[in-house]
Every structure is written in structure tokens, then in C-alpha cells.
């Protein structure tokens, strides 16, 4: 795919130079090229790259008020009209306050976030396929079942973003997003099942293939174990190991709660695992050196070791009383075509901080409940109160292998209660991308299932 800056990126720089005295003008624009590769029986077929539109956010500020315009195309021809309209809109503008940044400006290391090897994809894709086949065999041997990959679909996105200000030189960064979707076949005796499983990363060579296949193989084995059984076997209590994909869904609910209800009371007290937002996470699908207001990004504890949240701030709507003390955390995010920048997470994960919080959650050798699917977490964003609820479909693992289907758990708790119940998490550098942020795809161990389930 081409590295040449598209016209919209050049136009961003020219528009930012058009500010009048007393005006501050910013332009943020991004462009994404997408290409699909398919690997079937080792044969690679690569599609052509398709470059999408370049949605552009223009901010004009004057006399302490700011207004934002979204346009789906910015060029030398369209820029004057856009700027004139922004000036007309200023009378509806929101107040803003400039504030100091929490994080220092950091260099953006392309080598970490951009997969330059995919310029010529045949070699990396062939190596990826070899690693997939080897991992499938190893996972199958470990679990005592046959695991094979019938098909692989690789979606490669090259994302480029420019931020230009009337009083600074334009800044830019690039990021590669790789999604590997595998069609995994699991066989046990005469029975077999097929399912799709996926992982995301910045570089294809760093995708956690063995982890992906372990989760897929266990899910497949659960399907085979459920065949012919009308009622799932009920297991009471004990440890619950949540798979990577359900963990990502859980973290999404927790992060949304902290951002959507910033003023909700959060009980203080030591936590062993904290919720971390890291805009520089390796493998992060929303990694970036600066946010949509141009503020430098970094790593911030969303809920720290004492259980207290960090208040995420953007310039707009910052209360005057708080302006002196608040610092910009680099979490400004403006959904395309919809809204002005607002605080949103980037890449959210878990980190152990307290005693006994080692990274030891893993399916190998585990005996207990395995949570392989979450249901209902998508309905939890618009809530009246503090309690989060969702269902978890489970199976029973014995020494790391599926021993039977488990009961469906109805999990309920506040953010605090759910975090308190975490015993351990696995290391990991894969993140599941949602619309506006990503969440870590890791194994999570809850010591006691009863601490999670619903009770009056």
C-alpha cells in the first residue's frame, strides 16, 4: 500500500495557516487504506487496497469559545467554505480552557506500531501460516484433540493521521491494524465442529497465534461436549477462568462505566488489579501519540490502587473552577461526523499492583469453570444505577481440557466488586477494537465464582 500523503492530509496543513488574528485553528484528518488477504491450504491471495474517505475535524476558537465542524472531504477547493462556515458557527460555540498536559510529548516509534513488512506481504503471510499450522498441532496435542485451520482471512488496515494547528507545525503518525480470522476445525473421535476465531495486533509476526488457537480449540471442544446433552451440568462455586474474548467484553463494560459516569461514587480501598488506559500499548488498536485535541497521550490508571478514579479531561466544557488544577490526559476523542471531542479511553487493560497479583491466569492445567462467552454486556451502557449485569456461558475444565458443559452464570456487581474478584490475569498484547477504544484480550482468573453471581 502507498505511503504517499493523500490530498486531504496536505489540505489540513494549508487550512491551519488561514487563521486570522485572535483565532486558533486546528485540523485533524485521518485516512485508512484497507486490504484483505486470504490463505487457503497455504495459498495466499491478496486483494487490492481500498482507500476510504478522509473524515476531517476542523476546530475554530476565538475569545474563549470553540466550535467544531466535521467534513467528509477537505481539499484546497473546499477549505475556504469550511472555514467561513466555522466562523459563522462560532456564536454557538462552547467555552474551553487550555490546561497543562498530564503526559510529556513522546516520540512515536513507527517500528513498534507499523508493519512495514506488509509492503510485500507474501513473505510475512507465508510465515504466519507456518506458525498457525505448528501452533494448531501443538495445541491439539496438549488438549488431546485434533485442531486444524482450514482458512485464514487477514484484514490489514494502514491508518495515517495528521493534526495541524495554526501556531504549530503539523504532526502525523501511522499505525497498522491487523486482524487475523481463522476458521478452526476441532475433531474429537468421529465428531467435529468448525468456528471462526480472531486476534488483533499491529504486526502480523507478533499476533499471539498459540493463544488464539487454544481459546478456539476449547470453544470447539465445548460445542462437541454439548452434543446430545439436554441440560448443562451444574457446577457450584470454585474458580472461574474467563477467556480472552469475554474478558475484552468485560473490560469494555468497566471502562465505559468509568467514562460515562465520572461523578459516580467509587468506594476507596486497596485493589490488587487496576484498570489502565494506555495509548502507547503495543498491539493496541487505538494507540496514538496525540489525541483529537492534539494533547500528548500516555498511560493513566483509570482506577488506581486505592480504588479512586482519575478524572479524564478535555479542553471543551472544562469547568472554570477546575481549569487551574485539571490536566489534559490525552483522552479527547471525537466520533466521526457526530460530536465534539469528549473523554474516551484508548487501549484498556488490567495491571496487577497489589500483593499476590501475579500474572498467572492461563488455561494450561486449569481445573474449574471456563467462561467462554459473555451475553448482554452490550445493554449495560445505558444504566440507571451502579450494578452491571451480564450472562456468562461456561464449561468445566479438568487439567486444562474440557470435561463438560457448565451452567450459565448471571454475573452482577459494581466496577469495584468485579475488579475485587479478579485473582490473576495473563500477559498479552492483543486488543479487541470497539468503535472508540480497544480492550485487552487476556485470560482472567476469578478465585470464587460466587463473588460474581447475582444475589439480593
Partner 1 sequence: MTLTTDADRLTDELLGVAEHWCGEGTRLGAEYAQAFVEVTADIRLDCAVRDGAAVETGSVLARRSGVGLLLRYRDSWWFGSAPLAEPQALARQLALVCPTGPRVPPAIPRLRSVPGPPSPWPAVADAGLAGRWCAGAQPVRLDLIQDFFHRYRVVVDTRGVRAASPVSGGRQRCSATAVGADTVARSFTRRSRPDWGAETPVGELVESVDAIARDAVRRARGLLPARNLGHRRTPVVLAPKAGAALLHELIGHAVEADNFEKHTHLVSAMTDGPLCDAPLGLVDDAGVPGGIGSLGVDDDGQPGARTTLVQDGVLVGRLTNLLAAYPDAAGSTGNGRRQDYTRASLPRATNTVVLPGPDGVDRLCEVPPEGLLYVLALSSGETVPARGDFCFSAAEGYYLTPGGGRQPLRDVNLHGDARGTLRRLVGIADDVEGDNVTCGKQGQSVLIGLYSPTMRFDSTDWWC
Contact residues for partner 1 (CB under 8 A)? 48, 50-51, 53, 66-73, 75, 77-78, 81-82, 85-86, 88-89, 91-95, 261, 263-265, 267, 316-317, 319, 337-340, 342, 375-376, 378-387, 389-391, 410, 412, 454-456
Q: How far is the CB of 78 from partner 1 (least distance, A)?
A: 5
Q: How far is the CB of 58 from partner 1 (least distance, A)?
A: 9
Q: How far is the CB of 284 from partner 1 (least distance, A)?
A: 21
For residue 17, how many other CB atoms are within 10 A of its CB?
12
Q: How far is the CB of 84 from partner 1 (least distance, A)?
A: 9
Q: How far is the CB of 232 from partner 1 (least distance, A)?
A: 14
Q: Closer to partner 1 at the Cβ: 397 or 411?
A: 411
Q: Closer to partner 1 at the Cβ: 8 or 178?
A: 8
Q: Closer to partner 1 at the Cβ: 23 or 137?
A: 23
What is the rounded distance in angstroms from the CA atom of residue 226 to the CA atom of residue 407? 12
Helix (H) or strand (E) holding 217: helix 209-226
Alpha-carbon torsion, ordered 125, 126, 129, 130, to 10 deg: -140
Q: How far is the CB of 361 from partner 1 (least distance, A)?
A: 26
Q: Closer to partner 1 at the Cβ: 304 or 386?
A: 386
What is the rounded distance in angstroms from the CA atom of residue 199 to the CA atom of residue 269? 35
Q: Closer to partner 1 at the Cβ: 62 or 68?
A: 68
Q: How far is the CB of 449 from partner 1 (least distance, A)?
A: 16
Beta carbons within 8 Å of 70's beta carbon, 6+ residues apart: 55, 56, 57, 58, 334, 336, 337, 338
Q: Closer to partner 1 at the Cβ: 260 or 364?
A: 260
Strands 431-433 and 438-440, by their bridges, are antiparallel
Q: Closer to partner 1 at the Cβ: 20 or 375?
A: 375
Name the residue with cell 498457525: 132
What is the rounded distance in angstroms from the CA atom of residue 374 to the CA atom of residue 408? 10
Q: How far is the CB of 439 from partner 1 (least distance, A)?
A: 18
| C-alpha of 89 from chain center | 34
Q: Closer to partner 1 at the Cβ: 111 or 338?
A: 338
What is the rounded distance in angstroms from the CA atom of residue 150 to the CA atom of residue 134? 13
Using CB atoms within 10 A of its CB, is residue 49 exposed (0-12), middle (13-18) or buried (19+)?
A: middle
Helix (H) or strand (E) holding 419: helix 415-420
Question: Which of 261, 309, 265, 147 minimizes the C-alpha distance to 214?
Answer: 147
Q: How far is the CB of 282 from partner 1 (least distance, A)?
A: 27
Using CB atoms within 10 A of its CB, is residue 187 exposed (0-12), middle (13-18) or buried (19+)?
A: middle
Q: Closer to partner 1 at the Cβ: 283 or 413?
A: 413
Q: Which long-range contacts (CB under 8 A, 24 or more apart) does 381-388 make?
A: 381/253, 381/256, 381/260, 383/257, 386/264, 386/414, 387/412, 387/413, 387/414, 388/253, 388/254, 388/257, 388/412, 388/413, 388/414, 388/415, 388/418
Amino acid at each position: 500500500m502507498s505511503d504517499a500523503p493523500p490530498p486531504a492530509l496536505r489540505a489540513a496543513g494549508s487550512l491551519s495557516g488561514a487563521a486570522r488574528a485572535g483565532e486558533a485553528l486546528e485540523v485533524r484528518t485521518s485516512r485508512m487504506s484497507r486490504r484483505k488477504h486470504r490463505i487457503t491450504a497455504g495459498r495466499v491471495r491478496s486483494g487490492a487496497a481500498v482507500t476510504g474517505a478522509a473524515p476531517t475535524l476542523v476546530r475554530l476558537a476565538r475569545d474563549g469559545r470553540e466550535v467544531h465542524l466535521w467534513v467528509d472531504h477537505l481539499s484546497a477547493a473546499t477549505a475556504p467554505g469550511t472555514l467561513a462556515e466555522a466562523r459563522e458557527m462560532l456564536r454557538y460555540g462552547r467555552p474551553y480552557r487550555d490546561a497543562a498536559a498530564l503526559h510529556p510529548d513522546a516520540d512515536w516509534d513507527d517500528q513498534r506500531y507499523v508493519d512495514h513488512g506488509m509492503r510485500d506481504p507474501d513473505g510475512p503471510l507465508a510465515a504466519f501460516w507456518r506458525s498457525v499450522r505448528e501452533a494448531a498441532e501443538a495445541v491439539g496435542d496438549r488438549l488431546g484433540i485434533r485442531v486444524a485451520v482450514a482458512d485464514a482471512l487477514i484484514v490489514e488496515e494502514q491508518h495515517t493521521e495528521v493534526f495541524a494547528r495554526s501556531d504549530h507545525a503539523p504532526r502525523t503518525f501511522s499505525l497498522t491494524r491487523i486482524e487475523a480470522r481463522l476458521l478452526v476445525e476441532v475433531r474429537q473421535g468421529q465428531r467435529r465442529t468448525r468456528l471462526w476465531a480472531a486476534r488483533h495486533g499491529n504486526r502480523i509476526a507478533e499476533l499471539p497465534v498459540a493463544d488464539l488457537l487454544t481459546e478456539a480449540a476449547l470453544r470447539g471442544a465445548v460445542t462437541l461436549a454439548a452434543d446430545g446433552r439436554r441440560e448443562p451440568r451444574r457446577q457450584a462455586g470454585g474458580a472461574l477462568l474467563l477467556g480472552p474474548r469475554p474478558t475484552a467484553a468485560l473490560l469494555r463494560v468497566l471502562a465505559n462505566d468509568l467514562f460515562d459516569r465520572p461523578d459516580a461514587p467509587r468506594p476507596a480501598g486497596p485493589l490488587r488489579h487496576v484498570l489502565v488506559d494506555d495509548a502507547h500499548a503495543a498491539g493496541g488498536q487505538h494507540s496514538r501519540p496525540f489525541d483529537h485535541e492534539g494533547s500528548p497521550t500516555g498511560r493513566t490508571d483509570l482506577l488506581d490502587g486505592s480504588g479512586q478514579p482519575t478524572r479524564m479531561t478535555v479542553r471543551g466544557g472544562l469547568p472554570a473552577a477546575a481549569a487551574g488544577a485539571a490536566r489534559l490526559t490525552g483522552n479527547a476523542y471525537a466520533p466521526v461526523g457526530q460530536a465534539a471531542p469528549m473523554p474516551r479511553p484508548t487501549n484498556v487493560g488490567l495491571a496487577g499492583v497489589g500483593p499476590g497479583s501475579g500474572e498467572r491466569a492461563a488455561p494450561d492445567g486449569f481445573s474449574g469453570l471456563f467462561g467462554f462467552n459473555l451475553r448482554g454486556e452490550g445493554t449495560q451502557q445505558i444504566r440507571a444505577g451502579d450494578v452491571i449485569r451480564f450472562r456468562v456461558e461456561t464449561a468445566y475444565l479438568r487439567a486444562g481440557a474440557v470435561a463438560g458443559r457448565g451452567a450459565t452464570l448471571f454475573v452482577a456487581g459494581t466496577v469495584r466488586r468485579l475488579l475485587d474478584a479478579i485473582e490473576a490475569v495473563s500477559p498479552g498484547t492483543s486488543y479487541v477494537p470497539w468503535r472508540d477504544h480497544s480492550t485487552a484480550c487476556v485470560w482472567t482468573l476469578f478465585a470464587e465464582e460466587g463473588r460474581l453471581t447475582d444475589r439480593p
